[in-house]
Amino acid sequence: MKKVTEYICIQCPMGCPLQLTHEAKEIIEIEGYTCNRGAKYARQEFTDPRRSLSTTISIEGALWGRLPVKVTQPLPKNRVIEAAKVIHSLKVKSPVKRGQVLIKNILGDEGSDVVACRSM
């Protein structure tokens, strides 16, 4: 039985409403996009939704107590909380350089590292 899942494309401020028609896991049709980025976004959301993660961690010996960090590649949506818990358990000591890898492969084989967003 065919179903339609709706998304709002977040690839640019236009926010095109997308309709992805599927039968079980098979994509039948994608409509509503103005450019190909929308179709790609809907396909990604349906097959393997991912999210970026930016947050802060505790740092000792710096001017401020929190260091901004981010992941280098979007993570599977259903594992973002797991990654956030690992990141928040981390404490680092100054000095830290911008781009320094603080955790390699945060989720094992996902290929996304946690890096510092600034030097402190």
Chain residues binding ligand SF4 by CB under 6 A are 9, 11-12, 14-16, 33-35, 37-38
Long-range contacts of 46-49 (CB under 8 A, 24+ apart): 46/5, 46/20, 46/22, 48/76, 49/76, 49/77, 49/78
- For residue 60, the one-letter residue type is E
CB of 34 to ligand SF4, least distance (A): 4
Of 9 and 80, nearer to ligand SF4 (C-beta) is 9
CA–CA separation, 42 vs 8, rounded Å? 9
CB of 9 to ligand SF4, least distance (A): 3
CB of 50 to ligand SF4, least distance (A): 16
Of 37 and 88, nearer to ligand SF4 (C-beta) is 37
The residue at minimum Cβ distance from ligand SF4 is 38
Burial (CB count within 10 angstroms: exposed 0-12, middle 13-18, buried 19+), residue 71: buried
Report whether 91 contacts 62 (CB < 8 A).
no
CB of 16 to ligand SF4, least distance (A): 3
Of 36 and 89, nearer to ligand SF4 (C-beta) is 36
Of 34 and 119, nearer to ligand SF4 (C-beta) is 34
CA–CA separation, 38 vs 22, rounded Å? 16
